[in-house]
Structure 1
Amino acid sequence: MLMRSTSTLLAGLLAASLFSGCNKEKAPATAGAPTTSASATEPAPDTVVATFGDGQKITFGELNERIKEPLANLEKQKFQTRKQGLDGFVVEKLVKAEAAKRNLTEEQLVKAEVDDKIPQPPEEEIKKLYDEAKERLPPGTTYEQVKPQIVDFLTGSKKQERAREYFAELKKNANVQITLPEPPRPPAERKEVAATGPARGPDNAPITIVEFSDFQCPFCSRAVKTVDEVLKAYPDKVKLVFRQFPLDFHKEAPKAAEASLCAQDQNKFWEYHDALFANQQALKVEDLKAHAKTVGLDTAKFDQCLDSGEKAAVVKADQEAGSKVGVTGTPAFFINGILLSGAQPFDEFKSVIDNELKAKQ
């Protein structure tokens, strides 16, 4: 087997570990951003860009005012593209330096610190997945032929998570400081989002984070650690509210959302929340009932609640509320109404929270 190039290997790991989420769209939402400097190419504000009628005109400044929100979004996309590119550039250099220090190739270093840190899934788990899928495989496909792909499927998200952790370790040890200037956030980005649902943190906190999430989304599971880190870093400053947003293509997510609300009725939402995210391969109704027993719920009450479908209306209301404020994928966080989309790192939360706290002083 040919060894992957370092740039390709790192690009794949970085793409999977940076600012990612489950999205409603079939393809990732990636908007292009201008590559040239606006200040070097834009006309002056009083430049006439259109004339009509009896001497009427529109200036470039008037046009910019008319479309100021989409222009601000383009600036944000350009900043995010640059920041992701910068982060990848930094990681590539750190990996190269660490590999040289340990007398390894870069591929060997990533294999040792990422691939080899993830245990092989049990043979029975691999075989079970093969048995479930073999009717959909081409005729004659053997277990040994597809076993490597099954292993990649079962370990893929864990490898991505380990890569993210390792790259963060390298950056911390190297005392990386990102000083890329961020464009100002326009007022139009702040949305009115009702903070209704299971909550953690003080009610009088100056910062409220409303999270729209999906229990079957792997990126939502990844975000759990980051959210916990945020709450620990700002114990008196942040209140977290969880709202449901099961995506259409996650078939088991709607019932899992209902199940979490049934657990909330017994004051064990967060324990059940953690159990679901820790067991995303086991979200069928029988699994949901088994998790209820594991976290100590009254299973008779839980089963009645889940089987009745009484929480479906609450889930639907959360979905409608999320769609109304522009949620298209999960996880989506509204920090005092400012959207932070995807499983973003702690520093992204910190940037918005610190700015909000500073503004309140």
Structure 2
Amino acid sequence: MVVSFWFFTFGAFLSQNSLFAADKETAAQNEKSKDVVARIGDEIITAMELNEAAKDELKSIESQIYDIKMNKLDEMVNEKLWQLEAGKQKKSIGDVQDEALKGANPGVTDAEVDNIFMQSQGRFGNSTEEAKGKIRELLKKQKLSAVSDNYAGNLKNKYPVKILLEAPRFQIDMTGRPIRGNVNAPVTVVEVSDFECPYCSKIQTTIRQLRETYKEQVRFSFMHFPLPFHQHAKDAAMASLCAEEQGKFWEYRDILFDNRSALAKSDLVSYARRLGLEVNGFQQCLDSGKYNSKIDDDLNAAMKLGVNGTPAFFVNGQPLTGAQPYESFKKIIDRELERK
């Protein structure tokens, strides 16, 4: 009888421990399935929660990684194009490239050299003559590289290239935003800008060039990002929204960028008069501050997209920071049009 009781007790002990071990294993599996990254007492933080909390910062880094990969991919694609063309001509890659550059002797003007020299702040050496010599050689190499890239670009017509690397994209709520151009255009360029920012004014030449080049294929929109150290930027943003009330946002916006050094309230009213707006209504709107919350909403939305300065752009959700050259926009827009 004692022996039977001992076996029963021992069996119960084993069973209890087995259940405990099973519970532990189940808990571990549950934890693994949730990808737990931290435990605080009985509470946990999962990888999904962490990714959601850090999504804006991660998106910005993803964009940087994508840019690095895309630049390298462009180099690799061009390399393959040269290989294919060399194979077709039964020549070496070097011979084909030399032939492509034959006769190319891009001139470098003194003005171009002087411009880089003024911006370089001694990075090319202490001697003016030595520095300018280095700058001239660098500019010549850049221009020859552009000729080579242009030739490789023409090879894409002979050997079609399709880029499949997906770019990270930000989702931008377009509700209520002004649109310039074909509302059904396949590509949307959202400009995040400040009317008093010198670089924002400078890049308008590029924006006009894009509008002329792509016409019905690209539409443009706008987000306000008046910087706190620009005295008149918020009033100018307010004025543009008051002009929008009367159907003249884009025309008024263009005037502001053309006159970024004259944005006092009296100037803002005079621009409204120039456009033939109903001035009393415009003045009342401007003085009321009725669009303060709308401007703040734009600021907050832009910061969530990783914007911390102006100008900034999003081409179908892909970020471009700063006063980028026309070619930077063209590269992304052309790629987006190829996807459609």
- TM-score of the aligned structures, taking structure 2 as reference length: 0.56
- Report the equivalent of 2:169: 190
- Report the equivalent of 2:221: 241
Contact preservation (8 Å) 2:106, 2:143: no
Greater helix percent: which structure? Answer: 2
Contact preservation (8 Å) 1:226, 1:346: yes
Shift of 1:284: 1.5
Letter in 1 for 2:67: K
Q: Distance in 2 between matches of 1:176 and 1:327?
A: 35
Shift of 1:322: 0.7
What is the DSSP-based 3-state SS (H/G/I as helix, E as strand, rest coil) of the residue aligned with 1:199?
A: coil
Contact preservation (8 Å) 1:210, 1:241: yes
Shift of 1:347: 1.0
Cα offsets for 1:88-126 (capped at 9, x unmatched): xxxxxx999434xxxxxx3x67669xx9xxxxxxxxxxx
- Report the equivalent of 2:64: 73
- Report the equivalent of 2:272: 292
- Report the equivalent of 2:108: 98
Gaps of 5+ in 2: 1-50, 52-57, 75-103, 119-138, 154-162
**Which residues of 2 match residues 1-361 of structure 1 at below 5 A?**
70=61, 73-74=64-65, 76=67, 97-99=107-109, 106=110, 177=149, 187=167, 189-195=168-174, 196-360=176-340
Shift of 1:71: 7.1
Shift of 1:252: 1.1
Shift of 1:305: 0.3
Letter in 2 for 1:270: W
Aligned residue pairs total: 225
Shift of 1:74: 4.8
Q: Distance in 2 between matches of 1:307 and 1:95?
A: 59
Shift of 1:237: 0.9
Distance 1:203 1:79, change over 3 A: closer
Distance 1:80 1:222, change over 3 A: farther
Shift of 1:269: 1.2
Q: Distance in 2 between matches of 1:321 and 1:95?
A: 48
Contact preservation (8 Å) 2:63, 2:319: no
Gaps of 5+ in 1: 1-65, 84-93, 100-105, 116-166
Contact preservation (8 Å) 1:214, 1:220: yes
- Higher RCO structure, 1 or 2 (CA under 8 Å, sep 6+): 1
- TM-score of the aligned structures, taking structure 1 as reference length: 0.53
Contact preservation (8 Å) 1:263, 1:292: yes
